[in-house]
Amino acid sequence: MKRPKPNIDPIFHALGDPTRRAILDRLSRGPVSVSRLAEPLGITVTAVAQHLHILEDAGLALTEKSGRVRSCRIEPAGFAVLEQWIREHRTIWERRLDRLDDVLAKRWPDKSR
């Protein structure tokens, strides 16, 4: 019973931060330790650990401590949830309103629905 229900909120929140996206980019090239992750980012190891926790909660990263080193890697689960969300909402954006509806809506936006 350890399956976390797919919640899109923490995923968007996690991906909303550039530093976290940079971390994911780095992880995509293979597993890394926390301190190696911190090096190119110019922030403290503590900050990286905090970002990692957020990424883990979102199901985007997975970490595992062996010895004194915490190894961090990509976790596809979160990304799958994101893709699913996109799939479910694609039609919404793609829907082309026909000309008439469009014009009517423009004139009487309140009455249109």
Partner DNA sequence: GGGATACTGAAGTAGTCACTTGACAATCCT
Partner DNA sequence: AGGATTGTCAAGTGACTACTTCAGTATCCC
Point out which residues bind DNA (CB under 7 A).
13, 16-17, 19-20, 33-36, 42-47, 49-51, 54, 65-70, 110
Contacts with its own copies by CB under 8 A: the residue count is 45
Neighbours of 72 (CB within 10 A): 25
Q: Which is nearer to DNA, 32 or 81 (CB)?
A: 32
25 binds its own copies (CB under 8 A): yes
User: Coil, helix or strand for 22?
Assistant: helix
50 binds, among DNA, its own copies, none (CB under 5 to 8 A by kind): DNA
Of DNA, its own copies, none, which one sits near residue 45, judging by CB under 5 to 8 A according to partner kind? DNA
Which does residue 4 touch among its own copies, DNA, none (CB within 5 to 8 A, set by kind)?
none
Q: Which of 63, 84, 113, 103 is nearest to 6 (CA)?
A: 84
Reference 60, options 82, 36, 41, 44; nearest CA is: 82
For the CB of residue 53, give the shortest distance to DNA in the complex, in Å.
8
Residue 82 CB contacts under 8 Å (≥ 6 apart), including other chains: 8, 11, 15
